[in-house]
Amino acid sequence: MDLCNISQVKALLSRHGFYFSKSMGQNFLIDPRVPERISDLSGLDDSCGVLEIGPGIGALTVELAKRANKVVAVELDKKLLPLLDETLRDYPNVEILSADALTIDYQELIKDRFTGLRPVVCANIPYNITSPLISKLIESRRFETITLMIQREVAKRICAKPSTSDYGSFTIYVNYYTEPTILFDVPPDSFIPQPKVWSSVVLLKKRVLPPAEIKNESIFFKLVKASFEQRRKTLVNGIFAAFGDRTTKADIKELLEACGYPSNIRGEAVDIAGFACISNQITELLESKLG
C-alpha cells in the first residue's frame, strides 16, 4: 500500500471508519518526498532506536523502519491502532505503543526498548503539543538527536537570533540544551487535511556541554523568563521584578555594566552568553547578601 497515495489513503480511512480529530491535531503526510527526506536528514542507521510520536497511518514510520534498527511509534488515538496494524504488518522492527507522549517515562522506555541502540527522535508531531513535548524530550537528556516536523512559526522561534521578534525565552531554552537547525519547509498541500500554516522540519542535536558556563541554572532560567515576560520593559525592570526582594535597581545596573550592557537594554537584545554573565553576577550578588 502506498501510504502517500491520497486515493489509497482515503480508501483505508473509509474501510476502518476513521475520521480526523481536530483536537488531536491530525494531519497525515501525502507527499512521499517529505517522509523520505526527513528520514534521510535525520542521519539514521542500523545503530538507531527511533522514537516516533503521532505516526498517523505510518507514512513516516515506514521510512524510519527501512533505516533504523528499531522504531517505537507512540500513538494516543486508539482508533488508529487497527489501521497501523494493517499498514505496518510487514515491518517487524516497528512497535506501536498506545500511550500519551506527554506522560511517558522516556528513561524507562529507552531502558526497556532501546538497549544497546542509539536513541533518537524522529516525528511529525501534533502541533497542539509542540512546546511541552519538545521540553519533555529535551529534559529527558537521553536522545542524541530530535528531528521534528512542527509549525514553521515555532521553528523560527527556536532558531531566532537576538534582537528579532521571534527571539524569546523558548529560543534560549532550546539553544541552551541543543544545537537547532531548520532543515526544510513543508507546504500545507503535503498533508490531508491541509493545515492552515506551513510546517518546518527541525533537527535538535543534544549539546555535550552548555554553550556558556552557568553557576546556577535555576537563577539563569528565572532571569531569562523574567526578561521576556514583558518584552517592552528594560532588563533592569525585568530583573527587579524577579529578584527585587533581595536586591536593588542600583545593584542591577552595576551588574549589567559589569557584563558590558547599558542600563536601558532589553532582554531581547541579549544572547545566551550575555544572560550567563548576568545570571552569574546575580548569583554572586545574592550569595554575598546571604553571607
Q: CA-CA distances (angstroms) from residue 93 to 28, 38, 242, 244?
A: 22, 19, 50, 55
Which residue is listed with cell 531569562? 224
Per-domain residue ranges of the chain: 6-206, 217-290
6-206 with 217-290: one CATH topology? no
Give me the sign of the Cα torsion angle 154, 156, 159, 163: negative
CATH superfamily, with its number, for domain 6-206 = Vaccinia Virus protein VP39 (3.40.50.150)
Contact 202, 184 (CB under 8 A): no
Q: Is 43 helix (H, G, I), strand (E, B) or coil?
A: coil
pLDDT digits (tens, 9 = 90+) for 215-274: 999 999 999 999 998 778 899 999 999 998 888 999 999 999 999 999 999 999 999 999
Say what the pTM is: 0.94
pLDDT digits (tens, 9 = 90+) for 5-42: 999 999 999 999 999 988 888 899 999 999 999 999 99
What is residue 21's predicted lDDT score, i.e. its pLDDT? 87
Which residue is listed with cell 501510504? 3
Does CATH number 1.10.8.100 belong to domain 217-290? yes
Q: Is 179 helix (H, G, I), strand (E, B) or coil?
A: strand
Residue 117's Cβ-count burial label (10 Å; 0-12, 13-18, 19+) is middle
Distance spanning both ends of the chain, measured CA to CA: 70
